[in-house]
């Protein structure tokens, strides 16, 4: 897909992988990128990014991706100012790790907290799907307004969605909620890949390995250093820019479909 002058919405853009993706896409000549995050840092991230890029391409939106009104307001404003949203990378995510079932000192079993599970599903699974649907809807509405029905190959690709999965999508100890949401995104991706192409929109998923972001820095560093990194081909954390570069490739190359694993060869052991 040609990237020049396109419009994007990226969630989680105040930090890590999504922030790097905003910068990489902006350098490809996008017209505008709605950068969404629940953190105040979204303002400084956009300000700093625009200064580096020497143009006002990153537009901050502060709010919670699970809030439907907020989501609609973001798309409403972006469409009003720039037109349909061609690219959506709904990357905002959280980890809330704990064993599925453990036994306390008195021998009582403790199940993973159900409220926490619902929260992770809201943020990591439902929200990315609905931000993607909203983006596809802007293209569908625009095409309907122009009297266009089913997309035809001679029309240029209209849009691309990239979900952010994880190596944990294939199951990882201590990550019952996170792994479930990341595996769930595969179902959404493969369904949308079949449905959204009606409107000319492609949909794919990237599965990053351990990447050097605040999310990973909050984990047990000794465990990562001693148990995980030696098992990876690169023996270091991946850089957010490496994941961003792969995302840009997936958007640009319309022949890519399905999943791309960007994990330096690490997969969760039994
Ligand atoms: N870092 C890794 O190793 C790794 C590996 C695989 C997948 N991922 C995925 O990549 C994505 C980005 O992760 P990251 O490592 O860059 O993490 P990060 O913590 O650096 O960034 C996540 C961003 O999402 C925002 N966010 C969280 N909940 C939100 C909400 N409800 N509404 C709006 N914004 C919210 C946070 O404020 C933060 O800025 C996530 O989906 C994560 O699951 C990360």
Say what the alpha-carbon torsion angle 45, 23, 11, 205 is, to the nearest 10 degrees.
Answer: -150
Q: Ligand 1 pocket check: which of 167, 213, 242, 243 to mutate, most ligand atoms within 8 Å of Cβ?
A: 213
Q: What is the mean pLDDT of residues 7-16?
A: 98
Task: Say how far apart CA 12 and CA 111 lie, in whole Å.
Answer: 29
177 C-beta closer than 6 A to ligand 1: no
| Residue 270 in domain | no
pLDDT at position 158, please?
Answer: 97
Q: Ligand 1 pocket check: which of 9, 13, 16, 128 to mutate, most ligand atoms within 8 Å of Cβ?
A: 16
Answer yes or no: are the C-beta atoms of 6 and 86 closer than 8 Å.
yes
Task: Count structural domains, the chain.
Answer: 1
CATH number of the domain where residue 59 is located: 3.40.50.720
| Residue 267 in domain | no
Task: Say how far apart CA 146 and CA 270 lie, in whole Å.
Answer: 53
pLDDT at position 160, please?
Answer: 98
Across the beta sheet with 32-37, the strand order is 58-62, 32-37, 7-11, 87-90, 159-164, 201-208, 258-262
| Residue 58 in domain | yes
pLDDT at position 64, please?
Answer: 98
For 17, the 3-state DSSP assignment is: helix
Token look-up 């079949």 returns: 194
89 C-beta closer than 6 A to ligand 1: no
| Residue 1 in domain | no
15 C-beta closer than 6 A to ligand 1: yes
| Residue 2 in domain | no
178 C-beta closer than 6 A to ligand 1: no
The tens digit of pLDDT for each residue in 40-63 reads 999 999 999 999 999 999 999 999
210 C-beta closer than 6 A to ligand 1: yes
| Residue 68 in domain | yes
Residues in the chain: 270
pLDDT band (50, 70, 90) for residue 34: very high
Structure tokens at 166: 């994880």
The tens digit of pLDDT for each residue in 188-232 reads 999 999 999 999 999 999 999 999 999 999 988 998 999 899 999
| Continuous segment of H or E residues that includes residue 9 | strand 7-11
| Residue 24 in domain | yes
Question: Which domain, by its residues, includes 145?
Answer: 7-262
Q: Closest Cα to atom 16, ligand 1: which residue?
A: 16
pLDDT at position 209, please?
Answer: 96
pLDDT at position 165, please?
Answer: 98
| Residue 33 in domain | yes
* Phi/psi of residue 115, nearest 5 degrees: -65, -40
45 C-beta closer than 6 A to ligand 1: no
Rg, the chain, Cα only: 19
Q: What is the mean pLDDT of residues 144-166?
A: 97
């Amino acid at each position: 897909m040609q990237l020049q002058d396109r419009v994007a919405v990226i969630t989680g853009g105040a930090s890590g992988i999504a922030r790097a993706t905003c910068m990489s896409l902006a350098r490809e000549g996008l017209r505008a990128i709605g950068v969404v995050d629940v953190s105040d840092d979204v303002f400084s991230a956009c300000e700093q990014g625009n200064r580096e890029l020497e143009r006002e391409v990153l537009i901050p939106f502060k709010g919670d991706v699970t809030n439907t009104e907020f989501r609609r307001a973001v798309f409403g404003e972006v469409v009003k100012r720039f037109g349909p949203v061609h690219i959506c990378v709904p990357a905002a995510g959280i980890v809330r790790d704990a064993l599925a079932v453990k036994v306390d000192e008195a021998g009582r079993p403790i199940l993973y907290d159900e409220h926490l599970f619902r929260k992770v599903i809201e943020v990591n699974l439902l929200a990315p799907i609905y931000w993607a649907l909203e983006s596809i809807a802007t293209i569908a509405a625009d095409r309907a307004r122009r009297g266009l029905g089913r997309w035809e190959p001679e029309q240029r690709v209209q849009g691309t969605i990239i979900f952010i999965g994880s190596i944990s999508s294939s199951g990882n100890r201590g990550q019952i909620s996170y792994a479930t949401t990341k595996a769930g995104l595969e179902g959404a991706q493969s369904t949308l890949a079949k449905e959204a192409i009606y409107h000319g929109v492609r949909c794919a998923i990237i599965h990053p390995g351990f990447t050097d972001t605040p999310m990973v820095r909050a984990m047990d560093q000794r465990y990562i250093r001693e148990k995980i990194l030696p098992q990876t081909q690169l023996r270091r954390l991946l850089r957010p820019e490496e994941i961003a570069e792969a995302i840009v490739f997936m958007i640009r190359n319309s022949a890519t479909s399905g999943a791309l694993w960007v994990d330096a060869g690490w997969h969760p052991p039994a």
